[in-house]
Amino acid sequence: MPVTDHIRSKLSQVPHRPGVYLHKDRFGTVIYVGKARDLRRRVAQYFQNSRRMGWDLKFNALVEAIHDFDCHVVKSDAEAVLLEGKLIKEFHPRFNVSFRDDKRFLLLKVNLSDPIPRFTLTRLRLDDNARYFGPFANGGAVRRTLNLVRHKFNLRGCRPLTPVAGDYKHCLYGHLKVCTAPCIGNVSHEQYLMQVTAACDFLDGQCDEMASDLEAQMRKAAAAQDFEQAAQLRDLLKDLQRTTEKTEKFERVPYKLPVAINPESDLRELARVLGLKQPPKRIEGFDISNISGTFAVASLVSFWQGRPDRVNYRRFKIKTVTGQDDFACMAETIQRRYSRLKKEVAKEIAKGELLRPIISPDAPLPDLQALDAGEEAPESRPTNAFDAIFHDAAVRDELTAPWVPKTPSATRLPDLILIDGGRGQLNAACAELAKLGLNQIPIIGLAKEFEEIYRPSQATPLRLGLDHPAVKLLQRVRDESHRVANSYSAQLRLRKISESLLDEFPGIGDARKQALLKRFGSIHRLRLATVEQIAEVPGFGGKSAQELKDFLTSRTERPATS
């Protein structure tokens, strides 16, 4: 594809710094995530004519699909690796191969409350009061550094969590003077705990003395022309620096990284095209999902400042509609959602928490947008939304201070409602809002085929184009509501299939059925269980377990034959 003015303009703003880049297609979907030591040089390579003339079909297909890109600046190449892995697991880009599995980066773990603490390698951070170091981008470096730490501080490296003194009378690590052997009483528990604490301080970065010592030994070996020893010391020094280097931890962020580089700009553009007085802070999106009128559900997703606010997501089972009627399903969902929300707001007003006139059909809506306690003035807010993924602002030179939008603690009505659908769904939702006296809330519909925006007061839909930032923002809200609705409908279908299959087994009651599901979790796992494992479930013996196993085997789905 030819390089557009938009891409050329963004390339000129990309810094020569390490970071991560995301390529997106024309629908705003992330199709590739990569890292680079020099972002501008790396990203520019994708748009060079000489690269596209090669025989790499995958690369050519990727370049043809690129419609836009975003960049994230980090401190070091190690941080770029960590963030790249997290984003690939989060977005599952179709052109990425590495990091798509569920494998995580290595962590160092030590539990100081163990009888004899030891350092171990793990990939999962648990809430078990243990100390964790990492994650580390280079697994080999952390393993070699751990070996160095064990030798320096004389720490144990044996596997048992609590060694038995009688089994370790001849401790090999102890004889080699690598470990002080607390398991056989060579040192007291307090003395060994001091060694472990010193090692923790070392891994926290207090290793300048050892780094200086290793560098001095390296220079001495080089001067003596012992280049093999000097190379080993050089590699060990690099491993030490990689392991103790301060890196940001990207496993836990308050929200998924937005596809847009500046959600605030998208909100301002959305307010402009819709004629709103100010950018909508709270956007609520609705979608309906069903299969031929069965398992009808609805989803509500909430976006705060252009970012998903998952705490306020809601799911609805459709109760009053029979058959396939998306308009009636939408009307029921809107009525249930905002009748409840109206009562909650009125309850908070009655408690004096909102200090606003109570909502009534004849009264204007309360202005809840000014009630966000502790919110900064708009003029003082940073504009770079990506900085919110970082934790420490002091180490971010030449970058805007991080800002994570603070969600309001008080219940508030949305500033904009987005309906997935065209004129019919929108009219059904508007009718229910009018009945509740909430027709002052801005509401629009977004039709999929041409991404047309339907407005209650306009006869013709609004077409802004797929590249418009306001459309991309609405697409993110709509796609998220679609995902939540479909996943909930699929969950109900699987649950119904599981329940009906067990109900067909003769003589089974609710207690035994619940015991089976509690023990195995799903029908699929129950099928894989042995007769002995089923017999361990309360209420089942050997005979009944065999009968259930035969029943599940006879109900196994077989592929259709032509």
- Is residue 258 domain-resident? no
For 546-559, how does the pLDDT look when each residue is reduced to its tens digit (9 = 90+)? 888 888 887 664 44
305 compared with 398, residue with greater pLDDT:
305
Residue 245 has pLDDT above 50, yes or no: yes
For 378-395, how does the pLDDT look when each residue is reduced to its tens digit (9 = 90+)? 323 333 333 333 333 333
Residue by residue, what is the 3-state secondary structure of 183-246? HHCCCCHHHHHHHHHHHHHHHCCCCHHHHHHHHHHHHHHHHCCCHHHHHHHHHHHHHHHHHHCC
31-35, 53-57, 427-431, 444-448: segment of lowest average pLDDT: 53-57
CA-CA distance, 142 to 178, in Å (whole number)? 19
Q: How does DSSP assign 84-122, residue by residue?
A: HHHHHHHH--TT--TT-SS---EEEEE-TTSSS---EEE
**Domain finish residue from 212, 244, 276:** 244
Q: Are 357 and 346 in contact (CB under 8 A)?
A: no
Taken in order 466, 472, 478, 482, the sign of the CA dihedral is positive
Looking at the structure, tell me whether residues 269 and 347 fall in a common domain.
yes
Q: Are 429 and 334 in contact (CB under 8 A)?
A: yes
The pLDDT assigned to 559 comes to: 40
Taking each helix axis from N to C end, the angle separating 263-274 and 469-503, rounded to the nearest 10 degrees, works out to 100
Find the domain containing 421 and state its range.
Answer: 263-364+400-490
- Block residue for tokens 């796609």: 479
CA dihedral 234, 235, 240, 245 (to 10 degrees): 100
Average pLDDT across the chain, whole number: 75
Domain count, the chain: 4
Closest CA relative to residue 77, chosen from 127, 32, 17? 17
Looking at the structure, tell me whether residues 157 and 211 fall in a common domain.
yes
Cβ-based neighbours of 439, under 8 Å, separated by 6 or more: 430, 433
Task: Give 455's DSSP letter.
Answer: -
Looking at the structure, tell me whether residues 70 and 188 fall in a common domain.
no
Closest CA relative to residue 26, chosen from 71, 53, 64, 59? 64
- Is residue 28 domain-resident? yes
Stated pTM of the model: 0.47
Could you give the maximum distance between any two Cα atoms of the chain, in Å? Answer: 92
Looking at the structure, tell me whether residues 113 and 223 fall in a common domain.
yes
pLDDT over 90 percentage in the chain: 17
Q: Region 251-274: what's the mean pLDDT?
A: 67
**Domain finish residue from 244, 271, 304:** 244
- Block residue for tokens 């976006």: 303
Cα-based angle 346, 350, 351 (whole degrees, multiple of 5): 120
For 482-532, how does the pLDDT look when each residue is reduced to its tens digit (9 = 90+)? 889 888 888 777 666 555 667 777 778 777 877 887 788 777 788 888 998
Amino acid at 508: I
Closest CA relative to residue 386, chosen from 277, 473, 503, 262? 262
The pLDDT assigned to 126 comes to: 78
User: Helices (H), strands (E): how many in the chain?
Assistant: 18, 13
Looking at the structure, tell me whether residues 452 and 537 fall in a common domain.
no
- Is residue 325 domain-resident? yes
The pLDDT assigned to 164 comes to: 59
CA distances from 304 to 152, 267, 288, 316, 354 (A): 50, 10, 22, 21, 19
CA-CA distance, 552 to 218, in Å (whole number)? 67
Q: Mark residue 421 as left, alpha or beta (left: phi above 0; alpha: psi -120 to 50; beta: remaining).
A: left
Looking at the structure, tell me whether residues 182 and 325 fall in a common domain.
no
Cβ-based neighbours of 187, under 8 Å, separated by 6 or more: 180, 181
- Is residue 132 domain-resident? yes
Residue 420 has pLDDT above 80, yes or no: yes
Looking at the structure, tell me whether residues 268 and 415 fall in a common domain.
yes
CA-CA distance, 259 to 83, in Å (whole number)? 15
The pLDDT assigned to 226 comes to: 80
Closest CA relative to residue 315, chosen from 438, 496, 490, 517? 490
**Domain finish residue from 434, 458, 490:** 490
Highest mean pLDDT pick, 53-57, 183-187, 225-229: 225-229
The pLDDT assigned to 100 comes to: 63
Q: Region 85-101: what's the mean pLDDT?
A: 79
- Is residue 389 domain-resident? no
CATH number for the domain that contains residue 462:
3.30.420.340
Backbone angles phi and psi of 465, in degrees to 5: 100, 150
**pLDDT band (50, 70, 90) for residue 396:** very low
Looking at the structure, tell me whether residues 268 and 240 fall in a common domain.
no
Looking at the structure, tell me whether residues 37 and 185 fall in a common domain.
no
CATH number for the domain that contains residue 528:
1.10.150.20
The pLDDT assigned to 523 comes to: 76
Closest CA relative to residue 99, chosen from 110, 112, 85, 87? 85
**pLDDT band (50, 70, 90) for residue 155:** confident
pLDDT over 70 percentage in the chain: 72
User: Is beta strand 416-420 parallel, antiparallel or unpaired with respect to 443-447?
Assistant: parallel
- Is residue 498 domain-resident? no
- Is residue 96 domain-resident? no
Q: Are 101 and 90 in contact (CB under 8 A)?
A: no
Looking at the structure, tell me whether residues 427 and 342 fall in a common domain.
yes
Looking at the structure, tell me whether residues 357 and 478 fall in a common domain.
yes
The pLDDT assigned to 169 comes to: 53
Taken in order 263, 268, 273, 278, the sign of the CA dihedral is positive
The pLDDT assigned to 456 comes to: 92
**Tokens matching residue 212:** 């200086």
- Is residue 287 domain-resident? yes
**pLDDT band (50, 70, 90) for residue 401:** very low
Q: Are 523 and 501 in contact (CB under 8 A)?
A: yes
Looking at the structure, tell me whether residues 476 and 544 fall in a common domain.
no
CA-CA distance, 268 to 139, in Å (whole number)? 44
CATH number for the domain that contains residue 73:
3.40.1440.10
Residue 201 has pLDDT above 80, yes or no: no
- Block residue for tokens 């797929």: 466
The pLDDT assigned to 402 comes to: 36
Highest mean pLDDT pick, 154-163, 236-245, 478-487: 478-487
For 306-345, how does the pLDDT look when each residue is reduced to its tens digit (9 = 90+)? 888 888 999 999 988 888 888 999 999 999 999 999 888 8
